[in-house]
Structure 1
């Protein structure tokens, strides 16, 4: 039998838990806003180099909306909104928020676009892109990370993101061509399969360079006639792209 006293104590505990959740959500919202302000400040500082002194308002709204704390390991939650990479296990990281925003901005995804991501990782970049594009196809070669990201994105309601386990170097042929392609690991060269799967008029953002060395974030644009132009954006340091090539 549950006594009135026990019932009252249970109700009090539930109210306290609900209050803690509300307070936690508010705290995270404040941290997200601080993070976006830091991104905007960095964009101004690097604008001469990147050509993007201010990011698209839709990109910044996405950065201010996606709950980054849901994409980091529990032991890293206190630095979820720090403007730096965070380790997620298996030798991988969730990228620095500024770099996520920069890559997203350079891709110029529109509401009707189809986007390919090579390197799902935690799923955070896919979640940000899902706010902007119609469909996001993401490939992860590390099976535990891919499975975790797939579950996480589903639980958080990102129904327009599909995650596949595999070698992203070869792209996702059955869903090509893509309006934009993001590669979130450093390649020694620009993968020809990804160039082929980029739609004319599309953009690819990819770090290129040797593993564990300074690489260059590159913007690749495919012209309507199929010709390709490349431009160096910013020195970066990404984990290496793995898989056969």
Structure 2
């Protein structure tokens, strides 16, 4: 089993992986206002160190009422990504009233202590994320993100590039992938597009296509839970 803590090291490197990074844009894009005008990184590694650096300071509790879901954020070393910057993006998504706290029955907080965390959000290279997801029997082919119990695993390639023909800015896809995988952690299953031209439910597998729906990053729209039919 992979040891995926802030200090553990997993040996997953393949000869030549670092020498052949996948293309992306030029600079890191932050979630929030003005993010879409920034350029994307020019390259990223397919495999990192296999060890993860935790983000620093804790966040405030976000949400109106209900139990607090506490999470950590960790970034694979060797990705060129800042753990605190990624954590700020995750925090901004999960603290948005259109996210899962929009029910009024759940709160969230980012913490540092592993013993108190309900789950960890990882940002991992394609090779590392594939290996992590495979531990739970999930096949991502190094392309998609995934969720295992207590682990939300975001594929670095999708974080930096989104997917072809998504039809929305990168910040929208980033919010979608966080809300989708964290939604699984909160017990939500996959949902179908309700009808062509309508927003895609956040639990639709938008990475694989929109099936006629429009990109949507949020589980709550206009203050109400927006969902499609459950997919068995």
- The one of the two structures with greater contact order (alpha-carbon pairs below 8 A, sep at least 6) is 2
**TM-score calculated relative to the size of structure 2:** 0.28
**TM-score calculated relative to the size of structure 1:** 0.27
Structure ranking higher in strand proportion: 1
Larger radius of gyration: 1
